[in-house]
Amino acid sequence: MIKSSTKLLLTSLFASLILSGCNKYEEALKVLPNEVAQADQCISSNKEFEADCYDLISYKNSIALLRLGIKDFGKGNYKAAIKQYTLAKQRGNLYANALLSDAYFSGKGVPVNAKMGLELLEDVDNADPIAAYKLSFYYLNKKDYSKTVKLLEFASVNNVKKAQLELAKIYRDGKITKANPQRSQELFKAYEDKTNSFISKIYGL
């Protein structure tokens, strides 16, 4: 069983997302913490048991669907993964967008479609910190640095570790925005703490 302290942490985390997320995803952000907590009970050192457990609850748990899809994708079963991601998205799981976006950009399981990949990220960029992190590179390439920093800040505050590292470097170097040594140090310290990774919490890694 997941510990009460972990439940409290998840509730607090998703509460912060609701405050910053767009209105159409507020309801999903209220429901998803319970799905994460339930899916976390499947986590096991026995990966076969874990997968079977996710499969057992996937009819009512979209987080379990995502985690099954991630396992399939990692094995090269791209079509199966896309099916899981798509079903999760249809059930209102906004975290499916970033995973589907990766597939469209890479052409794994679906035809390459950069436009679709971008649209999937933009649809949830103020509700999903993972999508915000991925989208930040698009704006960095366009030299829209204020948007880049805004997206990375949202992702960093919500403990997307790679976003914390990227933003720490940006504030350290002061090339695309004003240097902020104190914020940079805070972000480097946050990055080193891997116990609260948002991606790990959602993807069950």
Q: What is d(CA 64, CA 39) in angstroms, rounded to the nearest whole number?
A: 6
Per-residue pLDDT of 30-70, as tens digits, reads 889 999 999 999 999 999 999 999 999 999 999 999 999 99
Write the pLDDT tens digit of every residue in 99-112.
999 999 999 999 99
DSSP of 131-162: HHHHHHHHHHHTT-HHHHHHHHHHHHHTT-HH
Residue type, 23: N
Whether 78 shows a pLDDT value over 80: the answer reads: yes
How many residues does this entry show for the chain? Answer: 205
pLDDT tens digits, 140-177: 999 999 999 999 999 999 999 999 999 999 999 999 99
pLDDT of residue 9 exceeding 80, the answer is no
Give the model confidence (pLDDT) of 126-147 as tens digits.
999 999 999 999 999 999 999 9
Token pair recorded at residue 180 = 């902020």
- The Cα 66–Cα 113 span in angstroms is 21
Residue 6 to residue 2: CA distance in whole angstroms: 7
- Residue 119 tokens, joined: 């649209």
Between helices 62-74 and 47-57, what is the axis angle to 10°?
Answer: 140
Q: Name the pLDDT band for 121 (thresholds 50, 70, 90).
A: very high
